Structure 1
Amino acid sequence: MASTPSRRGATRASPNTNAKLPECEPFPCWNSAGRSHHVQHLTGSGRASAHGRRHRASRIQLVDELLARGKNVRALVRLATDATRSAARDVRNALGDLLDLASLLAAMDGADAVITAAAGYTGSNKNATEIDTVGNANLATAASQTGVRRFVLTGILTGDRIPDVPHFWHKRLAEDALERLDVPFVALRLGAFLDQIVTLGGDPIDKARILWMGKARTPLTFVLTADLAGYLAAAVDADLTPGERIDLGWNRPTSITEVAELLGRAADRTIRVRAVPPLVTRAAGALVGPFAPSIKDMTSMFRWFDSGEYIADIVRQTEVFGRPPTPEDATKRLAGQLLVNR
């Protein structure tokens, strides 16, 4: 099997135990009772982009959430620099790669739980598809063979319904692999990361606009990257049935037009939506897709957003994690983050 480095990670956590996390983007994590909790992070190209800073911040937040719960954390890392950063946070490290099953077996050995947000599609890795398919299958195999108590998978909302969006469907395949191997997993199916989407065209506060591809007034489910760590850490010990899939989002679906209004209000700035018509984005996907699969993937995702079916059922989320954030609260927090980073 190829040993090409993967761009995402996995983490394990457990009460007063150690956990493991393989490298991925944004991050995976493992949790184990009486064992080591490993947190893995991957740096990608090394460019200090806002996108990269948010992913690094999310990994740090997850580690902090686990440590605050009394977990011992172990991180599966691919690069020495990643190991150095983790060591500075009372985290043990293990070198590994999602495409190297043997390294995952060694990293998960003795772990009680695993948290993974591994995903190749978020970076520029030419092996993204292999990472998101073979890599996730390797994680499932390693979890099965090492006997983890709980595997927390970061999934994607409606990923089981839309094979035309590859990075959505790959999460469905990851769930299938875990289920097929009888791994006691739970899947947290997240809505669209608002902080990533609104910055695709630059800082929306500085630019006074948000770029969008499709229908600007169709409601859909969003989440903030900053909220992910808390959900993942809480899922380690939550009272859940193996195989549960839980949608995560805000207390109501929100259109990008409403997001722009709320974000502008929070930042005291008028922010407009510059929407590319659906026909244009579909044509672009058809023309460029054969040469740039990620573009076709992205345009297919926005076409699915236009359907109005990308909406979370938050009943179980509320039962397990408490009341979801409101769009008003989330956009206010996002505005604060963007203003601080200017």
Structure 2
Amino acid sequence: MTILIVGATGTLGRQVARRAIDEGYKVRCLVRSTKKAAFLKEWGAELVGGDLCYPETLPRALEGVTAVIDAATSRPTDSLSIKQVDWDGKVSLIQAAKAAGVERFIFFSILESEKYPEVPLMEIKRCTELFLVESGLKYTILRLAGFMQGLIGQYGIPILENQPVWVTGESSPVAYMDTLDIAKFAIRALSLPETEKQTFPVVGTRAWSAEEIISVCERLSGKEARVTRMPINLLRTVRHFLRFFQWGWNVADRLAFTEVLASGKPLNASMEQVYQVFGIDAQQTTTLESYLQEYFSRIMKKLKELDYEKKQSKKQKSKKTPFKQSSKVNGQ
């Protein structure tokens, strides 16, 4: 089976590619830059140049492909809008996959997207789900809540560097999941007929609020967080202001997602039946606490090593200084 992975250089996509390669699948990756995707080639993937926003590049990438795993999404640093990538691009990909006779299509969506029609990314995900269902393809939709990997930049690093940790509105508990675990479900779906034309939640072992995550980070790092609360009404005002300018549309659309994270409503779902269908042991799923513990143990060990090296360097300098001074005195 040949799999085309779209978005393979991203946080989730690279784990899906790694898992597929390790399990013996022939992996092809649609990439915009072969240079940035060089690590995928080193892993054993085939790289094909192309872009979701240029539909004419898709047919060549889909030649001989049995399944598509779509892990692509627009990034905050992209100049392209959410609509261009997550709607126009996905519609083109689904249509091209259908024309190419692709047998399976795995799509990553967001949990409870239907409940937030005013949030652009959530509404686009909902519409894409419907478009995929109506396409006639044998799809599997996996609805995610959040990645544990994102917590490092949001909480871990700011706390370690004594920088502000931003919390908006009434913190919504989120069932974050390790992208390595999400990849297991995506690849397993390819070989399970029971997952065809089905939608599943794929979330972590429990939902965590921002305050709970901060508390765990403080305990594991031994540092106190500088929590700064941003009123949700202020963000709404900024968002509405940015909508007046075309250059601000993309930023405004992204700020809208804070409505989800600051609503106070949990982003979580039961996984008991999902584990049974996929034949995956729930006990092997990474917990948020163990994920953060591993991160902080590695980083604290590294910091101790750097501190030790710094002290040793100072000792060596202090030993050399008297000799230099005495040689100068003798020289005079």
Q: TM-score w.r.t. structure 2 length? A: 0.78
Q: Figure out how many residues of one structure are paired with residues of the other and give that number.
A: 295
In the TM superposition, residue 228 of structure 1 has moved relative to its aligned partner by 3.3
Aligned counterparts of 2:115 and 2:29: Cα–Cα separation in 1: 32
User: What amino acid is the match of 1:318?
Assistant: Y
Name stretches of at least 5 consecutive residues in structure 2 with no aligned partner: 304-332
Report the secondary structure of 1:189's partner residue.
strand
* Structure 1 stretch displaced more, 114-123 or 219-228: 219-228
Give the counterpart letter for 1:220 in structure 2.
V
Other-structure match for 2:165: 210
Deviates more, 1:252-261 or 1:172-181: 172-181
Rounded to whole Å, the distance in 1 between the matches of 2:82 and 2:299 is: 29
Q: Mark the CA change 1:238 to 1:112 in structure 2 (over 3 Å): closer, same or farther.
A: same
Cα displacement string for residues 224-281 of structure 1 (whole angstroms, at most 9, x for unaligned residues): 3444333322332245333322222222211100011112223333335322122222
Aligned to 1:274: 228
Using the TM superposition, name which of 186-195 and 129-138 deviates more.
186-195
Deviation at 1:89, TM superposition (A): 2.1
SS at match of 2:292: helix
The superposition leaves residues 22-42 of structure 1 with CA deviations (integer Å, 9 ceiling, x where unpaired) of: 3x3xx3xxxxxxxxxxxxx4x
State the 1:119 CA deviation: 0.9
| Structure 1 residue aligned with 2:292 | 331
- Partners in 2 of 1:127 and 1:75 — Cα distance? 22
Change (3 A) 1:325 1:163: same
- Taking a change above 3 Å as real, the CA distance of residues 322 and 142 of structure 1, as seen in their structure-2 partners, is farther
Moved more, 154-163 or 97-106: 97-106
> TM-score, normalization: structure 1?
0.76
Q: CA separation in 2, counterparts of 1:338 and 1:293?
A: 37
Bigger Rg, which one:
2
Partner residue, 2:275: 318
| TM-superposed deviation, 1:284 | 2.0
Residue 201 of structure 1: CA displacement?
A: 7.9
Kindly state the Cα deviation for residue 138 of structure 1 after the two structures are TM-superposed. Answer: 0.9
Secondary structure of the residue that 1:126 maps to in structure 2?
coil
Bigger mean CA deviation after superposition, 146-155 or 101-110:
101-110
Identity %: 22
Quick one: distance in 2 between partners of 1:62 and 1:230? 8
Structure 1 residue 304 displacement after superposition: 2.4
1:99 counterpart letter in structure 2: C
Runs of 4+ in 1 over 4 A off after TM superposition: 336-342
Does the aligned pair in 2 maintain the 1:113–1:149 contact within 8 Å?
A: yes
Query: What CA deviation, in whole Å up to 9, does each residue of 1:305-327 have, x standing for no partner?
Result: 33333422133443334325433
> In 2, Cα distance between the equivalents of 1:235 and 1:102?
29
1:309 matched to 2:261: no
AA at the equivalent of 2:79: N
Question: What CA deviation, in whole Å up to 9, does each residue of 1:102-140 have, x standing for no partner?
Answer: 321221122111111111244322344211111000111
Whether the aligned pair in 2 keeps the contact of 1:119 and 1:131 (CA below 8 Å) is yes
More helix by share: 2
Classify the secondary structure of the residue corresponding to 2:84: helix
Q: Which residue among 250, 258, 277 is the counterpart of 1:294?
A: 250
- Name the structure 2 match of 1:145: 99
Q: Which moved more, 1:171-180 or 1:242-251?
A: 242-251
Answer yes or no: is the 8 Å Cα contact 1:157–1:310 preserved in 2: no
On the 8 A contact 1:119/1:132 being kept in 2, the answer is: yes
Superposed displacement of residue 161, structure 1: 2.3
Determine if the alignment matches structure 1 residue 21 to structure 2 residue 8.
Answer: no
Match of 1:191 in 2: 145
Q: Secondary structure of 1:93's match?
A: strand
Distance, in Å, in 2 between the alignment partners of 1:334 and 1:169 is 34
Spell out the pairing of 1:115-154 with structure 2 (5 A cutoff): 115-154=69-108
Q: What runs of 5+ residues in structure 1 fail to find an aligned partner?
A: 1-16, 28-40, 42-54
- Partner secondary structure for residue 222 of structure 1: coil
Question: SS where residue 79 of structure 1 aligns?
Answer: coil
Tell me by how many angstroms 1:71 deviates: 0.7
Indicate if the aligned counterparts of 1:167 and 1:297 stay in contact, CA closer than 8 A: yes
1:49-85 residue CA offsets vs partner (Å, 9 max, x unmatched): xxxxxx36x5443222111111111122222314544
2:320 aligned partner: none
Q: Classify 1:147/1:161 alpha carbon distance in 2 versus 1 (closer, same or farther; 3 Å).
A: farther
